[in-house]
């Protein structure tokens, strides 16, 4: 069995209260909860927050959208586990040690990565069930990583650059896009971990299998421009609520 875990603390700084920003008629946090409830594979859904207002908003949005709250549990986090330095993985591990979860797997779904496909969720869940392996979603970088560099200053005070890799295309001249290695990065759409392994893991990615997704599914809301883009994409696929259509 699998439990969904949706965390939402209230202390975001770059985009204040980003987990409560509206999308598709509900808050970002509520949308992830609704998506989890919409998946029949989820035995239970846990919304973890340090805010009473967040919890009330999610409950209201879920009921307003016509979903039952029978499988939904509100987990109230204290300040020590909801600060800017706190890690979701540490919260999951602590709850596992307390035998909070009554399922073999827990699926982490971050509210800031709401553009999920049902087929992706099914693939990650099936992988965990069939192979007894943790798994996570990952998508390609928007631009090829070998071109990455950081800004430095010359003695004259002018800006200069230092490449990330010693064989950077900016040094070698091998700049054709089709010649570049495709690198991926994990995103918060979906990650399934084995509850009984959490105590022995350092991250959710330890011994986990990546499930590639599109860049669209990997969009993460961190600043206002991200939210604008996610809203534009969501408005174009309203008929597919609460998931992206397969062809998007």
What does the pLDDT average to over 59-76? Answer: 96
* C-beta of residue 52 within 8 angstroms of C-beta of residue 129: no
DSSP state of 2: E
Half-sphere exposure of 4 (CA within 13 A, CB side): 31
**Residue 184, both tokens:** 């991926």
**Residue 136, both tokens:** 């996570």
Report how far residue 144's alpha carbon sits from residue 95's, in angstroms, rounded to the nearest whole number: 38
User: pLDDT tens for residues 190-234?
Assistant: 999 999 999 899 999 998 999 999 999 999 999 999 999 999 888
The three state secondary structure string of 99-111 is CCCCCCEEEECCC
DSSP states of 26-77: EEHHHHHHHHHHH-TTEEEEEEEES-HHHHHHHHHHHHHTT---TTEEEEEP
Report how far residue 46's alpha carbon sits from residue 73's, in angstroms, rounded to the nearest whole number: 5
Report how far residue 59's alpha carbon sits from residue 243's, in angstroms, rounded to the nearest whole number: 19
Q: Coil, strand, or helix at residue 61?
A: helix
Residue 140 has pLDDT above 90, yes or no: yes
CA distances to 111, 135, 193 from 127, rounded to whole Å, are 22, 7, 11
Question: For the chain, which domains are there?
Answer: 2-141+183-240 (3.90.550.10), 145-177 (no CATH)
Pairing status of strand 72-76 against strand 22-23? unpaired
pLDDT for position 154: 80
DSSP state of 121: H
pLDDT-based confidence at 11, cuts 50/70/90? Answer: confident
* C-beta of residue 136 within 8 angstroms of C-beta of residue 211: yes
Percent of the chain with pLDDT over 90: 78
pLDDT-based confidence at 138, cuts 50/70/90? Answer: very high
User: pLDDT tens for residues 79-118?
Assistant: 766 666 678 999 999 999 999 999 999 999 999 999 999 9
User: pLDDT tens for residues 26-42?
Assistant: 999 999 999 999 999 99
pLDDT for position 230: 92
What does the pLDDT average to over 158-180? Answer: 93
pLDDT for position 238: 64
Report how far residue 210's alpha carbon sits from residue 92's, in angstroms, rounded to the nearest whole number: 20
pLDDT for position 246: 74
Tell me the sheet residues that pair with 113: none
Report how far residue 200's alpha carbon sits from residue 52's, in angstroms, rounded to the nearest whole number: 32
Pairing status of strand 184-194 against strand 135-140? antiparallel
Report how far residue 186's alpha carbon sits from residue 116's, in angstroms, rounded to the nearest whole number: 14
Q: What is the pTM of this model?
A: 0.92
Angle 12-14-17 from CA coordinates, rounded to 5°: 40
Residue 59 has pLDDT above 90, yes or no: yes
pLDDT for position 247: 61
Report how far residue 246's alpha carbon sits from residue 248's, in angstroms, rounded to the nearest whole number: 6
């Amino acid at each position: 069995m699998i439990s969904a875990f949706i965390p939402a603390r209230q202390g975001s700084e770059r985009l204040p209260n980003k987990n409560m920003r509206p999308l598709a008629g509900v808050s970002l946090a509520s949308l992830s909860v609704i998506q989890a409830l919409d998946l029949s594979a989820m035995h239970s859904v846990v919304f973890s927050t340090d805010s009473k207002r967040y919890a009330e908003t999610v409950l209201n949005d879920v009921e307003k959208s016509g979903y039952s709250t029978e499988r939904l549990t509100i987990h109230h986090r204290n300040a020590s586990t909801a600060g800017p330095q706190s890690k979701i993985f540490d919260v999951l591990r602590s709850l596992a040690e307390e035998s909070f979860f009554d399922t073999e797997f827990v699926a982490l779904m971050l509210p800031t990565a709401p553009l999920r496909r049902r087929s992706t969720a099914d693939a990650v869940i099936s992988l965990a069930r069939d192979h007894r392996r943790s798994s996570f979603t990952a998508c390609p970088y928007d631009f090829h990583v070998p071109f990455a560099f950081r800004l430095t200053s010359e003695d004259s005070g002018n800006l200069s650059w230092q490449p990330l890799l010693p064989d950077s295309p900016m040094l070698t001249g091998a700049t054709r896009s089709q010649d570049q290695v495709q690198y991926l990065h994990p995103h918060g759409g979906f990650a399934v971990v084995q509850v009984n392994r959490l105590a022995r893991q350092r991250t959710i990615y330890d011994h986990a299998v990546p499930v590639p997704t599109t860049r669209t599914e990997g969009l993460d809301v961190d600043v206002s421009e991200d939210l604008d883009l996610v809203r534009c994409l969501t408005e174009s696929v309203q008929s597919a609520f609460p998931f992206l259509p397969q062809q998007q």
